[in-house]
Structures are given as C-alpha cells and as structure tokens.
C-alpha cells in the first residue's frame, strides 16, 4: 500500500497502491473552462510569426500548407512546456537558495535566478520557517495525486505564527481562480508522503492559511487564497466533470433513420 510519484521526462504520474490515478492539475485542466487558453494560444502563434525573420518564414512556407499548419498548431504547446520547465527550475533554485546552498546559474537562467531571489525575499520578509517542501500528496477516497510546493510557519504577520500552505507561480498575471481549487485539493488530501515513504495524514499538519506567491525577477506579490471545505467541494465536482466527460462523445448517438410508413 503506497502513494508514489513517478517522474518521466518533463512530466510525472501518480500511483496509489499500484494503480495510476489522476493528477490534480490534469483534473483541473480537463474539468474547468479554458476560455483564457484560446486567445493565449492564438497570441502565441501571432507573436511567433510576427517575430520571424524573412528566412524563417520562407522555411515555414517551404514545408507546404498542411505541414506549415501542423507546425504552427504546436506553437502554444511548445511554449506551455517551456513555461512548465521554467517553473520547475525556479522552484529548484529557490529551494537551494533558501537552504543556503551554492547554485550554478547558466546564462539562459539568469532571469530565473531573479525569480528565485524573489522567493528568498518573500521568505525573509514574511519570516517563513519551512517545514515541508515538494512532498507528494494523495487521496484514496477520490483517487488523485499531486505535489505541493511548501508548508511553513509564518511569523512576520500580526497574530503569527501561522502555519501556511504556500504555492509559487512564475506567470505575470494575477493567479487564476483555478489555483484555489488546486491548493484545496492538496490541503484536504488524505496524506502526504514523507521522504522515507511514510504516509502522514494532512489533518495532522495543521494548515491554517494558504497563499500564492507570484514571483517576478524584480520582486513578488503574495495573495491569500480560500481553500476551505466549500472550495474543496468545488474541486471534487470539477474532478467528477473531468472524468465523466472523457467519454462524453458516446452521449450522442448516430443519426436516426426512419422508414416511412407505407401509404394506406
């Protein structure tokens, strides 16, 4: 009996007692509206074409119409993967800096280093004492897995210390409301998995507050997030919708053909 996160390439999967289960972010992407993704994806293609040199455009046209369309359609997927890798790198850099470990930064990662320094500044400003970081969580009752960024004690606020679940984001926009569902799923999971594989009930962690820290290369913004039972209930509804609509095409049958009645 175990909860396991398995990494593969730039992605990962979750298994509970040997059975693959859905990841929290997968359920959210499949079960919530993605209206904002459409204009973002269109902008990715438009920006890529607008920034191309004439030689690059010629190479794209030389592919032929179908291949050119297929190439452009992959633009937003490639960019989304790069953003995911960027977030992972920022988390790794920030964790090392917070622990006081030396880090080697490649030239292309200099901006990411600025994001990581902003994470350290947040920890200093808010006087955060880290307790747990990058721990897998799981729910047997609802068959999902995930990994939270940080749980720590905050002593830099009035009424502190307060134990908080903290999530880092590296985008430029205010966090989407979907983030509240994501963090509620972590907070109310059955347990987290310690380094030695021991499963510790999340109810024993004692989380009191939840925050999203939006990291930039020149600072940060910290947003309080509601992850109460009502938000968790909303996440479970989203998970249900995500799973049920995977076979939604079967809800609509084939056209019905009727035979005309013979004339009297």
Give 40: exposed, middle or buried? Use CB within 10 Å, 0-12, 13-18, 19+.
middle
Contact 14, 185 (CB under 8 A): no
What's the chain's average pLDDT?
Answer: 88
Pick the CATH number of 14-246 from 3.40.1280.10, 3.40.1350.10, 3.30.70.2610, 3.40.718.10: 3.40.1350.10
pTM of the model: 0.82
- How far apart, in whole angstroms, are the C-alpha atoms of residue 47 and residue 52? 9
Give the pLDDT score at 108.
53
Q: Is the pLDDT of residue 244 over 90?
A: yes
Q: Is the pLDDT of residue 251 over 90?
A: yes
Which long-range contacts link 27-31 to residues 24+ away (Cβ below 8 Å)?
A: 27/144, 27/185, 27/235, 27/238, 27/239, 27/242, 27/243, 28/178, 28/181, 28/182, 28/235, 28/238, 28/242, 30/242, 30/245, 30/246, 31/238, 31/239, 31/240, 31/241, 31/242, 31/243, 31/245
Nearest to 148 by CA among 159, 128, 169, 133: 133
Q: Is the pLDDT of residue 239 over 90?
A: yes
Q: Is the pLDDT of residue 247 over 70?
A: yes
Buried b (16+ CB within 10 A) or exposed e, 161-175: ebbbbbbbbbeeeeb
pLDDT in tens, 137-155: 999 999 999 999 999 999 9
pLDDT in tens, 42-72: 888 888 889 989 988 888 888 899 988 888 8
Residue ranges of domains in the chain: 14-246
Summarize the confidence of residues 154-171 as an average pLDDT. 88
Given pLDDT bands bounded at 50, 70 and 90, which one contains residue 119? confident
Give the pLDDT score at 35.
62
pLDDT in tens, 80-116: 777 667 677 777 777 776 677 776 666 456 667 788 8
Give the pLDDT score at 159.
76
């Amino acid at each position: 009996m175990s909860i396991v996160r398995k990494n593969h390439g730039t992605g990962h999967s979750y298994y509970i007692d040997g059975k693959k289960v859905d990841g929290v972010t997968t359920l959210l992407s499949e079960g919530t509206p993605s209206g904002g993704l459409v204009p973002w994806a269109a902008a990715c293609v438009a920006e890529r074409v607008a920034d191309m040199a004439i030689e690059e455009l010629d190479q794209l046209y030389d592919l032929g119409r179908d291949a050119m369309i297929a190439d452009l359609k992959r633009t937003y997927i490639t960019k989304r993967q790069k953003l995911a890798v960027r977030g992972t790198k920022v988390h790794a850099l920030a964790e090392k800096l917070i622990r006081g470990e030396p880090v080697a930064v490649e030239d292309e990662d200099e901006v990411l280093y600025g994001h990581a320094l902003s994470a350290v500044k947040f920890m200093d400003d808010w006087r955060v004492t880290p307790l747990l970081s990058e721990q897998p969580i799981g729910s047997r009752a609802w068959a999902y897995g995930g990994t939270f960024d940080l749980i720590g004690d905050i002593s830099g606020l009035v009424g502190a210390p307060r134990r908080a679940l903290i999530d880092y984001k590296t985008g430029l926009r205010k966090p989407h409301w979907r983030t509240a569902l994501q963090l509620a799923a972590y907070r109310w999971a059955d347990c987290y998995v310690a380094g030695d594989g021991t499963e510790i009930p999340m109810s024993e962690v004692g989380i009191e507050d939840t925050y999203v820290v939006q990291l930039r290369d020149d600072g940060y913004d910290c947003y309080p997030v509601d992850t109460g039972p009502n938000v968790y209930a909303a996440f479970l509804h989203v998970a249900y919708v995500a799973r049920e609509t995977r076979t939604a095409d079967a809800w609509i049958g084939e056209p019905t053909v009727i035979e005309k009645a013979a004339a009297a």
